Amino acid sequence: MPDLYRIALAQLNPVMGDIAGNLARARAARSAAADADVILFSELFIVGYSPEDLVLKPALQEDARAAVEELARDTAEGGPAVLMGAPWVEEGKLYNAMLLLDGGRIVGKTFKVDLPNYGVFDQKRVFVAGPAPKPLTVRGVQLGVPICEDIWKQGVCAALEETGAEILCVPNGSPFEAGKEDVRLKLAASRVNETGLPLVYLNQLGGQDEVVYDGASFVLNADGVMAVALPGWEEKVTITEWQRDTQARC
């Protein structure tokens, strides 16, 4: 890891189906985080969350891909790399993806493995589960990018640790419930304890139909100590600084 590494957290409110608007929001956040090495966006950010059956429309899939490719071209001019959440069609299969954008193009991708199918979630019906992920190399650092539900079990994070991840960066669309912040924190602490890796938990905020999202993103160091806590119910772009000892500072 470089002596100093900066990860920006984009805790924002994407608007369902407003791909052009969400692209503009991503660009503004990236501009605000110009000193970062990489900026992390939440799950399916480019289309909004949770898109439900809207994600099955070919026009939305094509527009989302075009927006991601357009944002990728922006990275040719310098500034932070981007980890962007988007629906992604590959070999005829639709995935819940995180795309790594750097150097003017899409240079990496990872797909959600554990698709929730309970409560307000119905992802097994619309997405295909991805294969076991490997870390993405982002400016000299190996970032493991488990997507939301992927950290609710041990398998995905364990696979990322075994294949060389240095930091876990988790994009989420986690709905608000009473006491949910404690549940998330305990869950993240379990994955940190098992892998020995620090963990970035980025959650979106806003609302989609009757479901609301509260943000409340945070960072745990490898010793399980909370290094950064973002406020709930507030849009915020925050740059975290990481030292070679993989300890985060805001």
Beta bridge mates, 243:
4
- Using DSSP, state whether 182 is helix, strand or coil: helix
169 is catalytic: no
**68 vs 208: CA distance, rounded Å:** 22
Catalytic residue among 57, 62, 112, 181, which?
112
- Please compute, for residue 43, the number of CA atoms within 13 A of its CA located in the half-sphere on the CB side: 28
3-state secondary structure 92-107: CEEEEEEEEEECCEEE
Catalytic residue among 109, 148, 149, 169, which?
148
Q: How many residues does the chain have?
A: 250
Is the separation of the CB atoms in 14 and 48 below 8 Å? yes
Catalytic residue among 43, 149, 161, 166, which?
43
Q: Which two tokens stand for residue 24?
A: 């503009």
Cβ–Cβ contacts within 10 Å for residue 229, how many?
14
Beta-sheet pairing, 136-138 with 105-111: unpaired
112 is catalytic: yes
| Farthest-apart Cα atoms in the chain, separation | 45
Q: Which residues are catalytic?
A: 43, 112, 148
